[in-house]
């Protein structure tokens, strides 16, 4: 191995006690390929197994915690005990190859496609539609809805434990329900769940507390709990970077194992203030210091890119598209074969790369998302 890359292969122990064998994780990526009943498909299992041999942990595609939170066609579920065997197959498939398995738990809120929901109606903090063409106006959640969904995040955590997962990642990013409660755009409530910044934090922290309650009740083994968030929203009103620092400070009061900053580009600056070009991830790392480990992500293609990102002090790195294009990214670096890491894919590569058809179709038909050559 090139000695410059040794840092990527240092083990890392979380405060919960779980040790990762190296610093590179697989980022959560939805694959649209689960069965209609919410169970994981064989094609998905093969896709994860192909990628779980080198990384220290796989964060799964997001999984819905209630049926009214399903966010994608072909998304899998953790909303019912009948799905525990499916979750067990997924956890086992990942762990068999040597990676820790982390289930990303999620509710889509107003971003769910209505045709994926039992009654065709989205729900959210307030009845405010997302700023995108043809967005449905969500139904404002009642107090009962709020309690039900918070409880569901806890129940999904219990199912993850029973299925043998090593942890859960709370999906508080990418404009979905947890973020919608934190956002002044989607949350216009005047009760305890909205209004001031402090009150907009109440739903995210209630979810965190419910998850920890279930971890405590259902396992004595070390179990990872991480939280993913997006640093800003472009809308007005919308989440500012100052809001996010307040979120980070609040999250730091819980025994979370990591914070995962969801961005497309690790080095990207503010989306609200174009003059502020400092990396959001680095700013968060500087702010939080060693209180909670940060996972950085976003367009880090080569091992040199990852080393440079880690030199900022960020201890852990997740790779997303890179691992779809090159399932053996980590193994190749470890074996000194980094020159053979693929950085583009061709339309003929589906079988070779072991990618389920619905995800493959999305990859090759969405311009600019992946570097596709003919």
Ligand X SMILES: Cc1cc2nc3c(=O)[nH]c(=O)nc-3n(C[C@H](O)[C@H](O)[C@H](O)COP(=O)(O)O)c2cc1C
Q: Which is nearer to ligand X, 194 or 203 (CB)?
A: 203
3-state SS, the chain, equals CCHHHHHHHCCEECCCCCEECCCEEECCCCCCCCCCCCCCCHHHHHHHHHHCCCCCEEEEEEEECCHHHCCCCCCCECCCHHHHHHHHHHHHHHHHCCCEEEEEEECCHHHCCHHHCCCCCCEECCCCCCCCCCCCCCEECCHHHHHHHHHHHHHHHHHHHHCCCCEEEEEECCCCHHHHHHCCCCCCCCCCCCCCHHHHCHHHHHHHHHHHHHHHHHCCCCCEEEEEECCCCCCCCCCCHHHHHHHHHHHCCCCCCEEEECCCCCCCCCCCCCCCCCCHHHHHHHHHCCCCCEEEECCCCCHHHHHHHHCCCCCEEEECHHHHHCCCHHHHHHCCCHHHCCCCEECCCHHHHCCCHHHHHHHHHCCCCCCEEC
Q: Which is nearer to ligand X, 122 or 189 (CB)?
A: 122
Q: Which is nearer to ligand X, 189 or 266 (CB)?
A: 266
Q: Which is nearer to ligand X, 194 or 319 (CB)?
A: 319
Residue 106 CB, nearest distance to ligand X (Å)? 7
The one catalytic residue among 47, 48, 64, 176: 176
Residue 309 CB, nearest distance to ligand X (Å)? 11
Q: Which residues are near ligand X by CB under 6 A?
A: 27-30, 61-62, 104, 171, 173-174, 228, 262, 264, 297-299, 319-322
Residue 40 CB, nearest distance to ligand X (Å)? 14
Q: Which is nearer to ligand X, 27 or 163 (CB)?
A: 27
Does the active-site annotation cover 254? no
Residue 369 CB, nearest distance to ligand X (Å)? 7
Residue 169 CB, nearest distance to ligand X (Å)? 8
What are the residue numbers of the active site? 176
């Amino acid at each position: 191995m090139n000695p410059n890359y040794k840092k990527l292969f240092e083990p890392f122990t979380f405060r919960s006690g779980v040790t990762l064998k190296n610093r590179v994780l697989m980022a959560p990526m939805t694959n649209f390929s689960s069965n209609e009943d919410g169970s994981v498909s064989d094609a998905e299992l093969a896709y994860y197994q192909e990628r779980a041999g080198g990384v220290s942990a796989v964060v799964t595609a997001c999984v819905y915690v209630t049926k009214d939170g399903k966010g994608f066609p072909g998304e899998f579920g953790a909303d019912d005990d009948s799905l525990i065997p499916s979750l067990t197959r997924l956890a086992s498939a990942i762990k068999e190859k040597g990676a820790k398995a982390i289930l990303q738990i999620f509710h889509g809120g107003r971003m769910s496609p209505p045709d994926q929901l039992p009654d065709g109606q989205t729900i959210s903090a307030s009845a405010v539609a997302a700023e995108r063409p043809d967005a449905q106006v969500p139904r404002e959640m009642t107090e009962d809805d709020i309690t039900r969904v918070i409880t569901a995040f806890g129940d999904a955590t219990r199912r993850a434990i029973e299925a043998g997962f090593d942890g859960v990642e709370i999906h508080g990013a990418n404009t979905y329900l947890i973020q919608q409660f934190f956002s002044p755009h989607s949350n216009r409530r005047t009760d305890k769940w909205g209004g001031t910044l402090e009150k907009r934090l109440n739903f995210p922290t209630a979810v965190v507390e419910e998850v920890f309650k279930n971890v405590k009740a259902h396992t004595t083994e070390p179990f990872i709990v991480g939280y993913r968030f997006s640093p800003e929203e472009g809308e007005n009103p919308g989440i500012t970077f100052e809001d996010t620092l307040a979120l980070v400070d609040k999250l730091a009061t819980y025994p979370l194992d990591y914070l995962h900053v969801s961005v497309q580009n690790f080095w990207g600056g503010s989306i609200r203030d174009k003059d502020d070009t400092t990396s959001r991830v680095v700013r968060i790392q500087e702010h939080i210091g060693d209180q909670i480990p940060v996972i950085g992500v976003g367009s880090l293609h080569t091992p040199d890119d990852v080393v440079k990102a880690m030199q900022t002090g960020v201890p852990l790195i997740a790779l997303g598209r890179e691992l779809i294009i090159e399932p053996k990214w980590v193994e190749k670096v470890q074996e000194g074969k980094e020159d053979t890491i693929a950085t583009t894919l061709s339309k003929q590569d589906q079988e070779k790369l072991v990618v389920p058809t619905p995800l493959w179709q999305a990859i090759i038909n969405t311009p600019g998302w992946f570097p596709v050559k003919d």
